[in-house]
Amino acid sequence: MAELKHTDFMNGLTKIVPDLLPKQLQDFKYGNTNWLFQMYYGRDKGIHYEISRVWNKTGRVLEVGLHFESCDRARNQQLIEYFQRYIFEIRETLGEQIVAEQWDRGWTKIYEVYPSEQLTSEHQQFAAQRLATFIETIQPLYKHIRAKA
């Protein structure tokens, strides 16, 4: 299988992800660049779903997750603490590989990673499907959290 260019892989997700989401979750905006894919609901681009290709201690991985990158560190912390209360339920649906943690610059995130040696169209379809499943699981909980805040 031929490898896609990184930018083609990320930009191509804009055509795949919407069709995988139910109608009630299709009211989102894109915040992607050529380097990564981001989408968000509402006005705050700092709280967004993301697919990115990064390096970690195991090598190159594809990360799928919800990032809390608001300028308000306390808000980021509050959101991750709330999600951590539901981590067992989230893992029951999405799998044990889900991590919820503090990250960098006061940011936090809920995410999963997969090996990413090549960016093929099959890998792109898999990433899009995982993100859609992630959103279907997490977004109703996030809406509930926002309503309480």
Using one digit for the tens of pLDDT, what is the confidence trace for 103-136?
888 899 999 999 887 899 999 999 999 999 999 9
CA atoms within 13 A on the CB side of 104: 0
Which of the residue ranges 5-9, 18-22, 31-35, 75-79 would you say has the lowest mean pLDDT?
Answer: 31-35
Number of domains within the chain: 1
27 occurs within a structural domain: no
The tokens for 119 are 């960016």
> Is the pLDDT score of 65 beyond 90?
yes
95 occurs within a structural domain: yes
104 occurs within a structural domain: yes
pTM as predicted: 0.93
H helices of 1-149, in order, are 6-20, 73-85, 87-94, 121-148
The tokens for 21 are 């989401």
Instruction: Say which residue the tokens 């981590």 belong to.
Output: 87
- Supply the pLDDT for residue 149: 60
- Supply the pLDDT for residue 135: 98
131 occurs within a structural domain: yes
DSSP code at position 101: E
> Is the pLDDT score of 56 beyond 90?
no
- Supply the pLDDT for residue 58: 86
29 occurs within a structural domain: no
Q: For residue 101, give its domain range.
A: 6-20+34-148
